[in-house]
Amino acid sequence: MQKGQINVQTENIFPIIKKFLYSDHEIFLRELVSNAVDATQKLKTLSALGKFKEELGDLTIEVILDSKAKTLTIRDKGLGMTAEEVDKYINQIAFSGAEEFVKKFKSKTEAEKNAIIGRFGLGFYSSFMVSDKVEIYSKTYKKGAGTKAVKWECDGSPDYTLDEIEKESRGTDVVLYISDESKEFLSEYKILELLKKYNRFMPVPIKFGTEKTQEKVEGEKDKDGNDVYKEVEKDRIINNSDPIWKKAPADLKDEDYKDFYRELYPMNFDEPLFQIHLNVDFPFNLTGILYFPKLKRNLEVQKDKIQLYSNQVFITDSVEGVVPEFLTLLHGVIDSPDIPLNVSRSYLQSDSNVKKISTHISKKVADKLEELFKNNREDFEKKWDDIKVFIIYGMLSDEKFYDRAKKFSLFKNVDGKYFTFEEYNEHVKIFQTDKDKKVVYLYANNKEEQYSFIQAAKDRGFDILDLDGVLDNHFVNSLEQKLSDVQFKRVDADSIDKLIAKDEVIPSKLDDKQKEELKPIIEKNIDKIKFNVVFEPLSESDQPFLITQTEFMRRMKDMEKLGGSGMMGFGGFPDSYNLIVNANHPLIGSLLEEKDEEKQTETVKQMYDLAMLSQNLLKGKELADFIKRSFTLIK
């Protein structure tokens, strides 16, 4: 027996490892299974090179839980270790990494500690986060002197023992004696959950217990001619060791990608729109598959669906920093050995390799979208409503992506026709250029509520964009800064004649004196604080009263809603509207001729309430009074 002390210059290293090694103690299982996979893969490599000539046999890694003995064992049939190698790799190299970690860790701020965690893969010593004692039983693949099996044991102090033992099979068993504080890891359900979370795509089969399943009995049928099944117990293999992101895209069919999507998201019943297969080997290694899902209105629920792996070992599903912000709405898998396993978010965001990966992913997505647009524009247009939010989010947050996406980004008008930015400008500039040489893009963000304004604009030969997306308010502001000589105006922001301010003016049937006489009659029957009365010479076919809000004021109100608080100190921007009085409508002229003041009031209120109703502003008592008055007028 060899007894010894691990070379420790730092006091209380094990308590520090227990407390600070990872933000989440469950990572210990990922580390130990990763080590077992590494040992197995290295043996396979030696075999392929002809340096190991025996049969490899079954290389399945086993995770064995014994809740009565309070142990958890990770068993591999890989390289194994000699006594000399245990001393080197466990007592010296692995522990020196742990010690360096602790030295750097103790004097740092929280932000610096997070970055340090990302730079140390402490692997084996993570086992002491959950264990009172750890044993290693190992037999090397090598033959000859000094290759007897060994047992290493440590109780979480610097003291260890190393003995020669008898062990039949090649490989390593790591046995953890789970501490009382960590007894949750003696639950079969918990271990299965962790294995499926961290190891479900590792490249070596991993067995954890057995499971019961139904198996068809060959050659047997029941009395109705149906297949007969029997219950059998078989090894529970928890991982898919050959995921499709490791394969060449040329070898895969569309159905393979859909099947893998279902494997990733068994509770998501919507099929993805399409996918992008990433396969890069220079200047960094990167593989993966990104899916464009069908988005719901709530964008936040869609996030954290991309899983980040390093050599098929799960790292995180919070991929900000690795994937550009706008692409966190995508689903799928990214795998890169250039991303270290033990990472914090701050480390990811500061790593130069990670930044290159992020830039490359953005470029690949833009390439794929442009290819789809060029190859099959009709199909691209059918998908537009579902992918629009990704593209707009990207154009708002990433200048380089904007420069690529403006070639294939589309406008859709209220009639369901699609245009590129360039096409749309050509489409409307002849009819919708104002006297200041600005091309006016009219738009609606609620076709139902703005129906009458849309119809009025269409009657004049104008085109109206349908911008009802969750990001369209931001997008309009951004595009006005980028597109020269273009101005966006919501179709109900002002009367049509003002929206497209032409040089020609429709003459008014009311003179200034008549307007002055009418104004107090109208004002005494409306909310004067909220509404500013403005006379305009519109078409006789337009409504007598129109309620509008200036484009500036409407955008300020929208920004206030998004900000969640008043932008002017207390109550924010007050509700402020224009009540446009159509100076050319026959009903307006007849108000002056009506000598019965009660009828005059009734007519003003009815026209005002109809205008309010068209803007969804009529509520409560005012709505009840309007309905009652309407029935009276019908009688």
pLDDT at 572 over 80: no
Same domain, 354 and 418: no
Are 398 and 478 spatial neighbours (Cβ–Cβ below 8 Å)?
no
What per-residue confidence (pLDDT) applies to 111?
41
Same domain, 118 and 188: yes
Same domain, 254 and 356: yes
Q: Where is average pLDDT lowest: 190-199, 375-384, 456-465?
A: 456-465
pLDDT at 228 over 60: yes
Same domain, 45 and 173: yes
Tokens of residue 529, six digits: 């604080």
Tokens of residue 392, six digits: 């707009």
Residue 81 located in a structural domain: yes
Same domain, 448 and 558: no
Residue 400 located in a structural domain: no
pLDDT band (50, 70, 90) for residue 304: low
Residue 228 located in a structural domain: no
Strands 331-335 and 410-412, by their bridges, are unpaired
- SS3 state of residue 550: coil
Residue 569 located in a structural domain: yes
Tokens of residue 631, six digits: 């029935």
What CATH number does the domain containing 581 carry?
1.20.120.790
When the pLDDT of each residue in the chain is averaged and rounded to a whole number, the result is 82
Task: Catalogue the long-range contacts made by 232-238 (C-beta closer than 8 Å, 24 or more residues apart).
Answer: 234/210, 235/60, 235/207, 235/210, 236/207, 236/208, 236/209, 236/210, 236/211, 237/60, 237/205, 237/206, 237/207, 238/192, 238/195, 238/196, 238/199, 238/200, 238/206, 238/207, 238/208
Residue 427 located in a structural domain: yes
Same domain, 61 and 107: yes
Same domain, 517 and 454: no
Tokens of residue 325, six digits: 């912000």
Same domain, 192 and 72: yes
Question: Final residue of a domain: which of 156, 188, 208?
Answer: 208
Residue 214 located in a structural domain: no
As for how many domains the chain has, the answer is 4
Provide DSSP, 15-65: HHHHHHS-SSTTHHHHHHHHHHHHHHHHHHHHHHTTS--S------EEEEE
Q: Is the pTM of this model over 0.85?
A: no
Same domain, 531 and 559: yes
Same domain, 453 and 539: no
Q: Which residue range(s) make up the domain with 540?
A: 512-634
Residue 477 located in a structural domain: yes
Altogether, the residues listed in the chain come to a count of 635
Same domain, 68 and 12: yes
> What pLDDT, in 10s, does the model give residues 484-535?
889 898 888 766 666 665 555 678 888 889 889 889 888 888 887 788 888 9
Question: Final residue of a domain: which of 455, 470, 499?
Answer: 499
Residue 521 located in a structural domain: yes
pLDDT at 584 over 70: yes
pLDDT at 438 over 60: yes
Same domain, 517 and 432: no
